Amino acid sequence: TVSSSWSTIPHYMVTVAIDMGKADALARSFKSAGTKVSINDMIIKAAATALERYPLMNASFADKNIVMHRDANIAVAIGLDEGVVMPVIRTCQNLSLEEIGARSRELVGLAKEGKLGKEEMAGGTFAISNMGMLGVESFIAIVPPSQSAILAVGMVKDEAVVRDGAIQIARMMRITVSADHRVHDGAYAAKFLGEVRSILEAPESLQG
C-alpha cells in the first residue's frame, strides 16, 4: 500500500524546471493535424527514453537486492471519484507518441468504466502522476510498491525568466521525482531529470 511505501522506502526528492515552449507548440501542431497526442504523452515518452540511459530509475528493490527491468512499463496515475488508480503502459520505449496516446486514452476509458483488470494494473516499473490539469504547480508523490521512482508533474504556465540579461515570458513546468535511496541517489536522479528536460526542451526527437 501507499502508506507502507512511505514508511518502508527511504524517500528522496529532486525537482527541475523545464521550458515547455517547444513541446507546447508541438502539441498544438498535433491537434491541428487531427493527431491525438497530449503533453502528458510526450512526458511519458521522454521518461521512457531517459530510462534507457539511466536504467536504475527503472529498477526495483526486492529481498535486499536491486532488480533491473528491461522494459519501461510506466504506471500512469488516473484520478477517479473513488480514488487514484495506476494502470500500466507497457514497453513505452518501443512505442511512438501516437501509440502511447492511444493506449493512455484506452486505459482512461477502462478506468472510468471500472473495467481495469490485473493485466492492466500489474508490472509497472516506473510511475508518473500529472496534476497539472488541476492547477497544481508542483507536488511530491509517494513511490509505489514494487517500484523505485515516481515522477510528479505540475502544470505548464507562463513565467518570467531571465535570458541573456533580459526578462522573457516562458512556458514553464516543474517535475519532481520521488525515489528509493536504496536503489539510486540524488545525483543519479538529477541526471535522469536533466535528460527528461533536454528531451522535452527539444521534443523533435520524440517523433522518431
- Phi, psi for 201 (deg, rounded to 5): -85, -15
Strands 126-130 and 149-153 turn out to be parallel
Sequence-ordered list of residues with C-beta below 8 angstroms from that of 176, at least 6 positions apart, any chain: 13, 14, 15, 138, 139, 140, 141, 151, 152, 154
Residue 11: active-site member: no
Q: Catalytic residue, from 11, 69, 181, 184: name it.
A: 181
Degrees to nearest 5, angle at CA 141 with 137 and 144: 155
CB contact at 8 A, 49 and 194? no
Nearest to 20 by CA among 2, 38, 1: 38
Question: Where does the chain have alpha helices with state H?
Answer: 2-8, 21-32, 39-53, 97-112, 118-121, 186-201
Residues annotated as catalytic are: 181
